[in-house]
Chains A and B, each alone.
Chain A
Amino acid sequence: MTFAVMFYVIAIITLGSALMMVTSTNIFHSALLMLVSFLGIAAVFVLLQADFLAAAQVLVYAGAITVFVIFGIMFTMKGDARKTNRFSKNAIPAAVLSLILIVINAAMVLKTQWPVSSHAPLEETVSSVAELMLTKYVVAFEVTAVLLLIAMIGAIVIVKEVKKPS
């Protein structure tokens, strides 16, 4: 009962802030509403007893991604902030595309057999996550690390404008 109430409150906050983010005409407000939406997802993780994932969500999305989005907004801002997030004129194609996406997603959600675990939730998730990450999924883990490194080096090269040796 409590779980259901909590879930619906969190779901309304998450989806509501996501909707307001799209409809807001001030891009700075949109970024902040996106932050609320990220925090809502972290709350969903907490409800699912995935406390490590929730903290990682807060650290990465709320703490880092949103700040970088706001940095981007600050560097490209011109004029009045209240009219920065204008609506596109292609409303009809966008509506059709969104509808198709919603239908596909809904079909997938409804068709999937959701398994219900009979195990009690883990007391400490971090050690199990770490063990899986460094044994079974070590290749994926390392590839992600290399990918992030490449992205970082790429960003530095773009900023520094490395000159060709003549």
Chain B
Amino acid sequence: MDIFIVWVEIFRHWLTVATGIPILAEIIVKAALTLGVIIFVLLNLIVLVWLERKLSAFFQMRRGPNRLGPAGFFQFPVDIVKMLGKEDIVPANADRPVFLIASICAFLTAIMAWAVIPLGRGLILEDLSIGIFYFIAIGSTGTIAFIMAGFSSNNKYALLGGMRAAAQMISYEIPMVFSLLGVIMITGSLTLSKIVEGQKSIWFIIPQILAFLCYFISSIAETNRGPFDMTEGEQELVGGYFLEYSGIRYALFMVAEYTHLVAVSAIAALVFLGGWNAPFGLTFIPGFIWMMLKIYFMIFLFMWVRWTFPRIRIDHLMHFGWKVLIPVSLINIVLTGIGIFVFRAITG
């Protein structure tokens, strides 16, 4: 994968010579790389939707899509074409400008997290010194898009869905941040590449198993997936905050959800599963492949949980978040602190 970085450097050098303005060349290179990341995420989406349909069918002893292409792989591209052909309906009493930008905001906040997520050594848009904190900050703004969609639709069910999304995401953000703190304490850095470098000898899932469980559970709630998908509970809320959306705007919400799912899986792989470090000395396989394998392992776990457990009630969800996850993640911070202290006392 180093060849990719070399190509980018050659491209940047050529642009600087060709345009004669370094800043312009830098902007063009960054724009091209950003486009590359967005295309990468959207390509993932095709696989993800197929995987979700096939896995849900597998867990429920069905066959899943099997008509179009090998194992129904071309079902989703055809679905996209269908989606694009649908009429874009805006309810008459909706808050029109907010209704129109809400779906774009949902996608934007999901894709912005990818600015700091590396897919291999050096394969990163911007290796910020506050990397993981940036991810948390951008993730927290995602709530607004759901409230905007719920509120502007002028529909009771959509409003309820939006409110639930906001309450749930705000509550589960706290254990998510706390569970990442343990790792930050061990490495002493917020930079994602340094966190990965710190896992050369041992993956952080072993000393931080408690934090990993907290992160896993709270990131399910953050991405609004089952069993915590109260926001779109079909039986009670018809469809949740995106109830009034149709066509491409509805599709954008789906895209945002899957983008967010890949992002939290990537963070889990980077922070707890050793990122692009190869396990058991299998270094002949490139780091990028390892990273993708780990991301897809996490995605498989998310889908497994979604299609295995029934949806829990909203008040149970809140109780679980505030009375179980937050204390457990706080205990993990204290234990990590003691552990670091003891480790330093032993090694000197």
Could you list which residues of chain A lie within 8 angstroms of chain B, going by C-beta atoms? Answer: 2, 26, 28-29, 32, 35, 51-52, 55-56, 58-59, 62-64, 66-67, 70-71, 74, 81, 123-126
Residues on the B chain within 8 Å of A51, using CB: 128-130, 134
The verdict on A67 contacting B143 (CB below 8 Å), with A52-B133, A125-B129, A126-B129 known, is yes
8 Å CB contact of B140 from A29, A32, A59, A81: A59
8 Å CB contact of A56 from B128, B129, B137, B170: B137
Residues on the A chain within 8 Å of B238, using CB: none
Do A74 and B163 touch across chains, with their CB atoms under 8 A apart?
yes
The verdict on A28 contacting B95 (CB below 8 Å), with A52-B130, A67-B147, A124-B129 known, is yes
Q: Confirm or deny: B48 has a beta carbon within 8 angstroms of a beta carbon on chain A.
A: no
Q: Confirm or deny: B98 has a beta carbon within 8 angstroms of a beta carbon on chain A.
A: yes
The interface size of chain B toward A, counting residues with CB under 8 Å, comes to 26
Across chains A and B, the number of contacting residue pairs, with CB separation under 8 Å, is 69
8 Å CB contact of B151 from A56, A59, A70: A70
Query: Complex Cα distance A67/B95, Å?
Result: 18
Do A58 and B138 touch across chains, with their CB atoms under 8 A apart?
yes
Query: Complex Cα distance A77/B192, Å?
Result: 43
A–B Cβ pairs within 8 angstroms, 21 of them: A28-B95, A28-B98, A28-B151, A28-B152, A29-B97, A29-B98, A52-B130, A55-B133, A55-B136, A58-B137, A62-B141, A62-B144, A63-B173, A64-B140, A64-B170, A67-B144, A67-B170, A70-B144, A70-B166, A74-B159, A124-B129
For chain B, what secondary structure do more than half of its interface residues adopt (helix, strand, loop), or is it mixed?
helix
In chain B between 148 and 176, which residues have their CB closer than 8 angstroms to a CB of chain A? 148, 151-152, 159, 163, 166, 170, 173
Do B151 and A74 touch across chains, with their CB atoms under 8 A apart?
yes
Query: Complex Cα distance A123/B191, Å?
Result: 12
Q: Taking the nearest CB of chain A, how far is it from the CB of B304, in angstroms?
A: 30
Residues on the B chain within 8 Å of A63, using CB: 137, 140-141, 143-144, 173
Query: Complex Cα distance A58/B147, Å?
Result: 17
Do B98 and A55 touch across chains, with their CB atoms under 8 A apart?
no
Please give 13 more A-B residue pairs, beta carbons under 8 A apart, in addition to A28-B98, A28-B151, A62-B144: A28-B95, A32-B148, A52-B133, A55-B130, A55-B136, A59-B133, A62-B140, A62-B141, A63-B141, A63-B173, A67-B147, A70-B147, A81-B95
Do B129 and A55 touch across chains, with their CB atoms under 8 A apart?
no
Do A67 and B136 touch across chains, with their CB atoms under 8 A apart?
no
Query: Complex Cα distance A124/B23, Å?
Result: 23
Q: Confirm or deny: B106 has a beta carbon within 8 angstroms of a beta carbon on chain A.
A: no
